[in-house]
Structures are given as C-alpha cells and as structure tokens.
Structure 1
Amino acid sequence: MTMIPGVELEDPPRDLKFEHQTLFTTDCIQFLAELITTFDCKVEKVLLQRAATKIHLDVSGDLPEFSSLTSHIRDDKEWKILPVPERLQNRHVDVGDLAPCDTERFLKALKSDAQGIQVDFDDGNCPTYSNQIKGLFNVYKAVRHHFKDAPHISEAPVLMLRPRAWNMIEHNMMVQGKEVPGALFDYGLLVYHNGKLLFENKSGPFFYLSKIESHHEARLWNDIFAWTEEKLGLRRGSIKATVLIENVLATFEMDEILYELREHTLGLNCGIWDYSASFVNKFGNHSAFLLPDRSKYVNMEKPFLRSYMELLVQTCHRRGALATGGMTAAILPSDKGSSQYHSILEKVTRLKLLEIKAGIDGFLVYDLELIKPLQELFLQHTNGKNQLDVLREDVSVTRTELLTMPSGGVTLHGLKYNIEVGILFVASWLTGKGHFIYQGQVEDSATAEISRSQVWQWVRHQVTLEDDSRMVTRGLIRDLVEEGIRVKLVDFLQSNTTKDKERLNTAISIFLEVVQKRDFPEFITTYLNLEHTFLASTAE
C-alpha cells in the first residue's frame, strides 16, 4: 500500500522486496498515478470502440476497407516520419520473445551480436507480479551497466521495450478504485526509470506497440509519448516506437498509423500468427473466412500474407520508416553436422530470403544461434544497413487480396497440434511461464492464439477432416485428448507428481472451455489473466 491518495499497490513477493523498493519509489508512483489518471478513460474508450466495431462487423456483415475519410493521408506522397535514429538504421536481426524476467537468457542476448532485443512483457511473458518486477528490475540494471560482463547500454544490442497490450490488466495496482491498464503500468515504469539514461546514451527509449487496431489507438500512444516527454524533460520526438500490425483491421490503416505517430515512430512490423488469428477474431462467424490448417496451408508464401507484407513494406518505405518481419520460431539442433540441422536452417533461410526480397529491413529470431547465419543472409542479398531505397512501386494490393483466405482443409495432424499447443500454453501460464519449446520451435501467446482460434472456428463451422471425413466437434476434441494427447503431454511435461497432473487437467479443462465458447474470447491472454485458477496458481 502507498501513502499517495487514490493509489493502492500490493506488497511485493517476499524474495523481491529490494527490487520492489528500488522500482516503486514515491516519485515513480506519483508519475505512474498521473499517467494513469490522465489516460485511463481514453484507454477505456479504445476498448469500447473495439467492442463496438466487432458488433458492427457481426451485425452488418461489412468488411474493412481503405477509408475515404482518411484518403488524403494516403494520397499525399510528400509527408515522412522523422528520420530513424542512427542506432536503429540497421535492424537486420533482433532477438525476440525475450521475457526479461529470464535473467540468464537476457544476459546472453545482451552479450550477443544481435542488433536489438525485443524486451517482451507481452507475447512471450507471463505477467505474474514476480515476473513483472524481475523483468522491470533487469531492464533497470542493464541500462545502468550493473550486470557483470555485459556490455554498456550504448554498445549492447538496442533494447526494444514491449509493454503489454491494451487488453491486459495489472491486478496489483489500483488508481482511483480501478485496476490499471497493464500497458500503462509497464510503459510508465520502463520510461520513468530508463528513459533519460537511454536517451543520453543514444539508445532509446524505443518501444514496441502490440495489437494496435486503428489510427485512433496510434494517436493515443502519440499523446502518451508527448505527455511523457514533457513530464520527464525529454526532447520532443525522443521516444520512438515500432507498431506491430498484427490485426487485419490495422492493415487498412497503416499509412494513417504512421501519420499519427510520425514524430514518434520507427516503422511497422508484420507477424504471421497474431495477424492470421485476427481473421478469426473479427470474422470467425463467417464461413468465407475459414482459415485452413496452419501447419500445412498458412505461411508467408500464401497470397493473403504476402500481400499484407508487401503492402507494409511499400507503406513504410514510402514514408521513410523501417519495415520489419516476424520472428523465426525454429530452434537449431545442437549437432551442427546433422541432417536435421541443415534441413531446418535451409527452411528458415528460404522463408527469410522471401522476406528480404520483399524489402523487409529486418526480423527477429528466438534461437541465438540463428543470429549470425541470418545476418550473413542480409549481407549477401542487400546493399546496406536497410532497404529503405526499395520502394516497391510495383506493388498494388487490393482489398480483395488482403481478405481472400488461402485454399486448403483441416488435417488430423493439424487439429492435434493446435490442441497440444493450446493446452501446453495454458499449462505454461499456470507455472508462470509465457512461452515454451515444443517439437523444435518456440511457442508463445501468438501461436497459442492461432491454435485455439482455429480449433474454435473449425468447431463452429463443423468442418470435416481431410484424412477420414470426421467432423470437428466438441466430442471429437475431447476424444482426441483422452485417446492420446493427454498421455503425450504428460510425457512431454514429465508430469510425475499429483500436483503436475492436476495442473495439466486444469489446463485441459480451460482449453476445452475456451474453444467451445458460444462467443469467441477476443484474446486468450485476457481470458487467462482474468481466470481465477490462473490468479490462484500464481499468487505468492
């Protein structure tokens, strides 16, 4: 609890009292309270507008389009964003999905040759109070050069700070009787403690903005940045952000999003799984938007994703902004001489070369062993630090191309894999972890999102399997869990104790509940973050 009127802050876990006291000083809490008080109502308005948009899409059957109301922004070829800072001119390979509470991995990334680090409080992180405090404190230490053997912040890979998205709530702080937006909690603590130091070392403050759905949401972030700069005495335009275009609605407003953030943006990012899942989120009730098996039919070579990526590159480069791609989830085997190692590296190289040839300026990897080969790939196929000169004037993407689903059906393997990933993600959250390694690649909330979205949609539209013409139903999913998936996951998780088995049973129950809901839960992380079982399991 605090002495500041209207503010309630929970006591820290017993083993994090020092970290908590360091972060939550009286001045910092006062700054947080002012930030939240100033913008909380606007955040609520964003969430209400999202709900209203979803209702309109469901009731009217309308589809998104390039708005005539903002055509003057798209048609004006002259405006540009402010120049990208020197330290971010080269964004070839960043480390992604790095939950900063994982101190060991954070240190390895700081010592790596990557251009940047996605310091991820969102997709790859489970937002327990302990994890947030540990992660925030690790960033605090890195910026101040408190880690032994780690490079100075001016020489380390650039920290790209990713607060939670608007859909997440921080349960451990209340301002004026309300739990606070997770995005403002994370952002406020990060920028208050580290903003000036990062700026003085020409290393930030730089942010990722997740799950933006419209230029109105970008305008809100721009207002937050401007307010922060005035409060902290930073020069206007000091704070920079990359916006993740991971929602189909935002694809139709990319110019407008850059325009609203033109003093504060670095560019846009495209990622395959959250973006694909957003089609189910927004149009899941429509059979015309049935998304086929992701393991077989969905990749960046498909027209609806390739069009989205090419439009993003064209939009960014026209405005002087960087266009970055998604994260490579593959994990290379330790045996570099094995056929499996070369097979995985060949596949990763082929898909990333596709992005490079499209004009992408950089992308992310999870496995640190992929940094060097993919940096070399950029050097082999590009002429400098970035591809801003690749304007893609040959691209002319239509509304139809963006909204046409790839052909294909549903395989038994794809159904099982989606069920397994969804259950394992819930089980991971119940242990306080935001991502896990499964079958040679990292899985996080983005892959969990597409997994559970597809299962929900396949049940809703009663699709039949390519393999044996069985219909995907609630009963089939339960049968698959009991006939083999449960045993497989017990072995994978090494669930030997009664507590382990109970946790897996809970994860299965929650997953089955999510995929059979009448109304599609918008985000699985929101659902879990409000779930009493999760809150109880992670309570200190």
Structure 2
Amino acid sequence: MSITKSASVSEQRLVISVSCSFSMEVCPPPSGLEAEYETLFTRDALLFLYELISTFDEEVDQVLRLRVSRKAHLDLSGDVPSFLESATHIRKDSAWRVLPVPLRLQRRHVDIGDLAPCDTQRFIKALQSPAQGIQVDFDDGNCPTYYNQIKGIHNVFKVVHNQLPNVPAISQAPVLMLRPRAWNMVEHNMMVKGKEAPGPLFDFGLLMFHCGKTLFENKSGPFFYLSKVESFLEARLWNKIFVWTQIKLGLPLGSVKATVLIENVLAAFEMEEILYELRDHSAGLNCGIWDYSASFVNKFGHRKAFLLPDRSKYVNMEKHFLRSYMDLLVQTCHRRGALATGGMAALLLPEDPLSDSYRRALANVTRLKLLEIKAGVDGFMVYDLSLIEPMQKLFKLHTEGDNQLFQLLDNVSVTPEDLLSMPSGGVTLYGLKYNIAVGVLFINAWLSGKGHFFYRGQVEDSATAEISRSQVWQWIRHRAKLEDDGRVVSKRLVTDLTKEVTMELGTLCRSVRAGQNLHTAADMFLELVLKRDFPEFITTYLNLDHTFLSSQNTGQVEPADKDMHQSKL
C-alpha cells in the first residue's frame, strides 16, 4: 500500500493505492486541524478503515435497501407491524441472557446527553462533573461537518489518552458512551472503492482504532450507543462489525458493549430479537420520545388513522402508546439481564435557584423523570449539568442499589395494539408555530455548523427537529384543523406562518449574514414539509443538500453555551 498526494491543489486528496483496482481517497484537513488530522489519519489507521469499510459496505447498502423494501410493503399492503412469528422461539426461550454488564456500566443513573465532542469546553465541563456517564454524540446533537468530526474524534482521543488538562483519568472520569452516526449518514470526505464511506463506519472505525484498546485496558469501554436501528438484521450487522473489529485489534470477544436506541416503531416490535443478536455485546436498550414519535409519521404518516396530535399538548411519556413502549422496553431488558435507559431531559434550569421559574422547571423535570424511575429504568440523560445532582438524588431516594435489574415487570403485558394506539387530540396554533420555529432553527443551526440550539428554555436537536417537521408535513397532508379557530393546516397557512415566525426570529439575528442564513433555513424547511413524499430523515436531507455541503469548511463553530445562545441566533 502506498500513500501519495494528487497533483491538483484544488482536488488534493490522500490516495491510498491498495492494488491496481482499489483505492481510498481522503480529503485534506480543514483549516486549523492539521495536527489533529495527522494524529488520526495515520497509515495504519487508514488501512484499518479501508478494510473495515470494504468488508461491510455492501451489507450496509443491503440493510438500507431492506428499509425501503419494508416501507414499500407496508404502504402497498396497508399492514401494520406485529411481533415476528419467525422469532417466537427466541421470545419464548427464557434461558438466554446477555453477557453480564461490565462494572463501569452497572451504575449509570444520570448521563449527560447530546454532547457533541467537538465542543471542547463543554466536553471538559462534563468530564469534571459528577455525572456517571457521557453520551459522546456524533449523531443527534452534532452537526457532522468534516471539522466537527475530526475535532470531536480527536478530543475523544485526548480524553482516552489523558491528554486533556484538568480532567480525571479515563478510569475515573464519567464513562464515555460513544454514539457514531446512524446508517442513513455518509462521510463525504472519504471515498472507498469509488463510494462515499458510511458515516457510522468512519466514526466507529477511527474511535476503535485509536481508543478501543486503551479503553478496554482501563476497564472503561469501548462502549457505544447505536442510533436509529430498525430491525434485528441491523443489530446482526453491528454484531458482525464488533466481532471483526475485536479480532482485528486483538481485543477479547465481548469487549465492545452497545446500547441500542429504540427510536423507531418497527424496532419496538423486535426488541428481544435485537438483544439476542447483540447478546455478547449488549449494554441494553434506550427509549426516547421524539425520534420514536416521528417514526410513526415516517412509516404510517400518510394514513389518517396515525395522525399524531400536537406534541406540545398531547404527546408525552404518560400517553398510552409511549408508556406501553417504555414498559415493554424495561420488561424486555430486565428479563434478559440488560440495562434499560430512559430519554433525555431537555429542559434548562434558570440561573437563579431561588426563583419561581427555577422551582417550576425542576419540578417539571422531577415529575417526568420520576415516572421513568418508577417504570423501572436503570438511568436516563440530562442536558443541563445543573440537573445531574438533583436527578441522582431522585434515583437514590426512590431506588436501591446500582440499578433496577431486579424489576422484572412480570405483570406487564403489551400488545401490538398498545404500541400503535395514537393519542387523541388536535392541533393548536401555538403547537404549529412552535414546530415551525424548531424546524427552521435546526436547519439554521446546521448551516452554521451546530448540531443543536436553545429555544424557549430547552435544548433542541435533530430528534425534536424530526418530530417538528414530521408533524407539520402530516398536518398539511391530512388538512388538520386548528383547535383555536377551525382554520385548516394548509400550504398557504404554513407558508404564511413560516414567514411570520422567521420575521420574529430574525429580530434576534446578530448580523446580516445570520439573517440571510435564517431565511435560507426557512425556505429549506418549507421545501421539506411541502414535499409530496415524506423525506425519511431531516439529517439525510441536510447532509446531501448543496447548501450544507458548501458551508462545511467555514471553520470552527462557537461552543454551545446555554447562557450565550438561549435568546440569540
């Protein structure tokens, strides 16, 4: 294998010639990250990535094609999902268990969520915090510019190798739960055999090559979150990737542990099968709320029976379809010796702990998280670091021991009808405008290289953007009526409200360029919600759009500080 530079400066790439017919191309480093690039893209690391991607690229394409095929079958047949008859023997076999959970994962009551590791300042604060874990997020809370991916992976490298100042050693710091991108994302800056690299293999490969062995030697990993898994076949693919990687890197089989996020309605019917496929590498399952709710629109949104009401008023974990999903997840995990984790508290606490607004916000988070604790979850996430200790105290007050694996929920019986029962309710003008604002602001954040933003006292990311734009699309499709005045949610109404919301948000812009980006984001949002066919993921749409691609080399993004950005664009 040889590494050479191409002659053209404008098209300069690293070209790895493996043989006369195979090659790998890697874009040069973004400005300011030359040293980080040299650390990560060594000859051996590139060869490892080439072999990893070459080995599994076709299977990645296959699972994506199976998603399309399955969706087409549901659309053509009008069927709804159910528990798999072909896997009845797995569900009925009470003997199998996942391998025991490693010691460092046994007590993770409160993790920090949505932490994009390219934000060095916030990463350091999280590592210094009393949190038991950190969701190191290259997915929902991260905008995957080339700069952000390299900076984020290199920051993980520095943490694992104790190169970040004033943070505990990796064996003492909050455990890192590494979350690579989901299968729908590609890495535009690496070509393998003439194809763009799958985003999750790019992230996973670099993280494992540079950090896997050190994490294992320090009994602190490697631990992963797996996003947007839709079926047991996708879990099977991840398991094959884990086995291959461990053999390649000389790690014992079972070293890698992964928590699968059940954020798709189809995956909710295959939880046991997903655990079974990953039984040697499973750390459990995770339940959220917004990606999962948005998946109903993704899979069944054109059917009026699956009209999802206003999320700001009618959708929460107390509703039957979401409570059933959480109960089933906890029951499934605990029957098999796996950990069940809840979603993330997105609320930001006001600065003054003596204020009424602070007490109300804390009471709201406490009520919702206590619901999850009583349902049997072993932990959950918060965004605001100020919530870590209050939520840890909540766990200590209402549970005993490191986790709730003893909560077997034998009295819980969840049917397909329970999982598919839509909550009743309508659409409010407030909810429509809120969804428009979140959708526009998320696209605006991506155009400036940020994966999340703050709006009305809470953090918003791709999960809330998914449910927001999904609901607007579905309400237009089914001509839902506003509870306020009976107006129909139409193209005209949404267009007019988007202009109104954008004008209101525009008053907060700090520059002409920021205002222009906001209007571009509004135009892109309208394109999304007015499409004839529902785009599966907002992140896929953005990642493949020329506007985002042209913004990738804008350099370092500002840290996502809640005080700075809560009321500004």
**For 1:109 and 1:266, how far apart are their aligned partners in 2?**
22
1:488 to 489, 504, 510: 504
2:428 to 401, 408, 411: 411
Residue 337 of structure 2 aligns to a residue in which SS?
coil
- 2:14 is aligned with 1:2: yes
- Once the two structures are superposed, what CA deviation does each residue of 1:18-40 show, in whole Å capped at 9, x if it has no partner? 00000000000000000000000
Measure how far apart 1:496 and its partner are: 3.1
Equivalent positions of 1:272-311 (< 5 A) are 272-311=289-328
- Once the two structures are superposed, what CA deviation does each residue of 1:129-163 show, in whole Å capped at 9, x if it has no partner? 00001000000000011111100000000000000
Measure how far apart 1:444 and its partner are: 0.1
Equivalent positions of 1:324-339 (< 5 A) are 324-339=341-356
Amino acid at match of 2:16: I
- 2:102 is aligned with 1:88: no
Measure how far apart 1:450 and its partner are: 0.2
Partner of 1:210: 227
2:46 to 21, 26, 29: 29
1:533 to 543, 547, 555: 547
Residue 359 of structure 2 aligns to a residue in which SS?
helix
Q: Give unmatched runs, 5+ long, in structure 1.
A: none
Amino acid at match of 1:177: G
Measure how far apart 1:333 and its partner are: 0.3
Partner of 2:527: 513
Amino acid at match of 1:513: E
**For 1:421 and 1:9, how far apart are their aligned partners in 2?**
34
**For 2:420 and 2:406, how far apart are their aligned partners in 1?**
28
**For 1:124 and 1:68, how far apart are their aligned partners in 2?**
36
Partner of 1:504: 518
Measure how far apart 1:495 and its partner are: 4.2
Equivalent positions of 1:79-478 (< 5 A) are 79-478=96-495
- Once the two structures are superposed, what CA deviation does each residue of 1:476-504 show, in whole Å capped at 9, x if it has no partner? 0111123x312221123x2432x222111
- Once the two structures are superposed, what CA deviation does each residue of 1:294-341 show, in whole Å capped at 9, x if it has no partner? 000000000000000000000000000000000000000000000000
Measure how far apart 1:538 and its partner are: 2.1
**For 1:520 and 1:415, how far apart are their aligned partners in 2?**
18
**For 1:215 and 1:364, how far apart are their aligned partners in 2?**
25
**For 2:82 and 2:486, how far apart are their aligned partners in 1?**
36
Measure how far apart 1:367 and its partner are: 0.1
**For 2:548 and 2:271, how far apart are their aligned partners in 1?**
36
**For 1:528 and 1:496, how far apart are their aligned partners in 2?**
23
Aligned residue-pair number: 537
**For 1:358 and 1:249, how far apart are their aligned partners in 2?**
22
Residue 139 of structure 1 aligns to a residue in which SS?
helix
Measure how far apart 1:3 and its partner are: 4.4
- Structure 1 vs Structure 2: percent identity of aligned residues? 67
Partner of 2:7: none
Q: Give unmatched runs, 5+ long, in structure 2.
A: 1-12, 18-22, 555-569
TM-score, with normalisation over the residues of structure 2? 0.94
Mapped contact 2:14–2:28 kept (Cα < 8 A): no
Residue 4 of structure 1 aligns to a residue in which SS?
strand
Residue 149 of structure 1 aligns to a residue in which SS?
coil
Measure how far apart 1:2 and its partner are: 2.7
Measure how far apart 1:67 and its partner are: 1.0
- Once the two structures are superposed, what CA deviation does each residue of 1:417-476 show, in whole Å capped at 9, x if it has no partner? 000000000000000000001100000000000000000000000000000000001100
Measure how far apart 1:51 and its partner are: 0.4
Measure how far apart 1:4 and its partner are: 1.9
Mapped contact 2:147–2:553 kept (Cα < 8 A): no
**For 2:280 and 2:540, how far apart are their aligned partners in 1?**
31
**For 1:496 and 1:179, how far apart are their aligned partners in 2?**
35
**For 1:286 and 1:153, how far apart are their aligned partners in 2?**
49
Amino acid at match of 2:319: K
**For 2:507 and 2:436, how far apart are their aligned partners in 1?**
16
Deviating 4+ runs (over 6 angstroms): none
Residue 14 of structure 2 aligns to a residue in which SS?
coil
TM-score, with normalisation over the residues of structure 1? 0.99
**For 2:256 and 2:320, how far apart are their aligned partners in 1?**
35
Measure how far apart 1:537 and its partner are: 1.9
Mapped contact 2:176–2:223 kept (Cα < 8 A): yes
Measure how far apart 1:171 and its partner are: 0.1
